[in-house]
Structure 1
Amino acid sequence: MKQIWKKLAIPFLLILFFLLDGIFSEAFSSTLHTADYYMTPRLIVILLAMLAFFLPRRQMMIYAILFGLFYDIYYTDILGLHIALFPVIVYINEKMKNLLSASAFVIGMMLIINISLLESGLYLFYRTVPRFSLNMDVSQFLSVRLGPTLMLNIVLFIILYYPIRKMIDKTTQHTARNF
């Protein structure tokens, strides 16, 4: 039974965080989305950023593409945005793990870069595609969208880091050898 749990723990956690992204957003929409700011929880990005420091690249790329596809199908109208951006996030983190230690501070700083990259990529796409005609200039994006989203996700990262890290530590030895 323990062997099965170790194999399924990471995919289960990814599915859970994928679903919690939407649940959290919907349950707290009046608090997260106001006229002054627009915060988006990115729990799946937090988890992908952390896992990229501890799991093999091949396994993480599969998770990133798969959950990018799920994210696009379930949460957005455009197929391909998250499929492209999630693997980029994993790739950057995977390259940085060779240069930096996997401390909470380093992963937190990488998370800031990852979420900034994701939100900026989404902003640029929605801004340039005429179908969506996003009427938000860069200064509004930075103050209304990116800044609040970063703050929310940093708080979520601080709360979730140690429980997730403990789970990763329990499962990575087995997962890394068998994938």
Structure 2
Amino acid sequence: MNIKTQKIVGQVIFLLLTFYLDGLMKWAFLNNMNTGDFMILPQIMLMAVVLITMRIDDRRQILAYGIIFGLFYDSYYYGIIGLYTVLLPLIMVGIDHFKFLFVKSNMGYELSIYFLALTFLQSGVYVLERLLQQTSTNIFDFITYVLGPTLLWNMVVFFILYIPFANFSDWLAKYRRESK
């Protein structure tokens, strides 16, 4: 197995672990916090997806990751196939399309991209659920009780996990040794 294949397998394992960490965090921590009006949705996999997308240049690989992990997320967490299967590849291709604007990716850029991706994803899920008549929540309640707490929680988690996730995704995206 060559180094590129090993790195791709490492990327998939990294995304699978963050996928599992989403569910673990919701089960372990947030079940006690989501008893009132507020609903916090952890999106650690989305953070890993944003970090990996900022470092990979192959759009086909990015699109494949988006479709596969969107399908996993839908089938495991939602039960409605199509929400993440459509939205996650759109986010990843959008990030890939505009990442050339950044001179060098750093924490500020990646935080703002993660914030926008998280807002787009949660709003897109809400809109699709409204279209499929899976929710009756109005837009103001969604912003107040779901989107706001979710953004706040995930920004705090981003600051905690950024350095290890960014270093690991940097390592996973480099295929060759750099010349000295």
Same fold (TM > 0.5)? yes
Q: What is the RMSD computed on CA atoms of the aligned residues?
A: 1.9
- Specify which of 36, 58, 62 is matched with residue 60 of structure 1: 62
1:104 and 2:117 matched: no
Contact preservation (8 Å) 2:7, 2:175: yes
TM-score (ref. length: structure 2): 0.88
- Shift of the 36–170 alpha-carbon distance from structure 1 to 2, 3 Å rule, reads same
Distance in 2 (CA, whole Å) between partners of 1:80 and 1:38 is 22
2:132 maps to what in 1? 129
Percent sequence identity is: 31
Distance in 2 (CA, whole Å) between partners of 1:32 and 1:167 is 30
2:31 maps to what in 1? 30
Distance in 2 (CA, whole Å) between partners of 1:84 and 1:2 is 32
- Shift of the 7–127 alpha-carbon distance from structure 1 to 2, 3 Å rule, reads closer
Distance in 1 (CA, whole Å) between partners of 2:10 and 2:33 is 30
Query: Which runs of structure 2 are paired with 1:76-91 in the superposition (5 Å)?
Result: 76-91=78-93
Instruction: Extract unaligned runs of 5+ from structure 2.
Output: none
1:167 and 2:180 matched: no
Distance in 1 (CA, whole Å) between partners of 2:39 and 2:6 is 37
Distance in 1 (CA, whole Å) between partners of 2:105 and 2:35 is 35
Q: 1:93: Cα distance to partner?
A: 1.0
Distance in 1 (CA, whole Å) between partners of 2:30 and 2:111 is 25
More deviation in 51-60 or 25-34? 25-34
1:95 and 2:97 matched: yes
Instruction: Extract unaligned runs of 5+ from structure 1.
Output: none
1:48 maps to what in 2? 49
Find the residue that maps to 1:10 and give its secondary structure. helix
Contact preservation (8 Å) 1:67, 1:83: yes
